[in-house]
Amino acid sequence: MTAADTRPADLERGIAEKRAKRLATTPDRWKGHFVAAWSAKRSPEGVQTSSCSPRRAIKAFCLECCGFDHKAITECTAYACPLWNFRPFQEKAGGVGTTEAPP
């Protein structure tokens, strides 16, 4: 049994409505990331049972935060964001998109 199995029906409907609204404003190019992240499930033992990785869920979050502009994610200055070090579209060693915050 997953957490979703124990939620009241009205909560499930509310979640579905909010996700539908968000998906309606998401560019077609990126919708798959959101659908995959929302379909992620875990077994009662805590084992992930879907194909969505944390990396893909982070990509969806960052895309939405930066207005679906992957270049803006590379240049992100939200250094206090807990996902900043994990954001996608980074260059490997220094330069634009470095994974180290400036001093």
The 3-class secondary structure across the chain, one letter per residue, is CCHHHHCCHHHHHHHHHHHHHHHHCCCHHHHHHHHHHHCCCECCCCCECCCCCHHHHHHHHHHHHCCCCHHHHHCCCCCCCCCHHHCCCCCCCCCCCCCCCCC
For tokens 């180290």, name the residue: 100
- Say whether pTM exceeds 0.85: no
pLDDT confidence bin for 3, thresholds 50/70/90: low
Q: Angle at the Cα of 101 (from 99 to 103), degrees rounded to 5? A: 145
d(CA 34, CA 52): 10
Query: Which pLDDT score, from 0 to 100, does residue 54 have?
Result: 87
pLDDT 10s digits, 34-93: 888 888 776 667 666 667 888 989 999 999 999 999 899 999 999 999 999 999 998 765
Query: Which pLDDT score, from 0 to 100, does residue 8 have?
Result: 87
Query: Which pLDDT score, from 0 to 100, does residue 49 have?
Result: 64
Interval 3-19 mean pLDDT: 82
Query: Which pLDDT score, from 0 to 100, does residue 52 have?
Result: 80
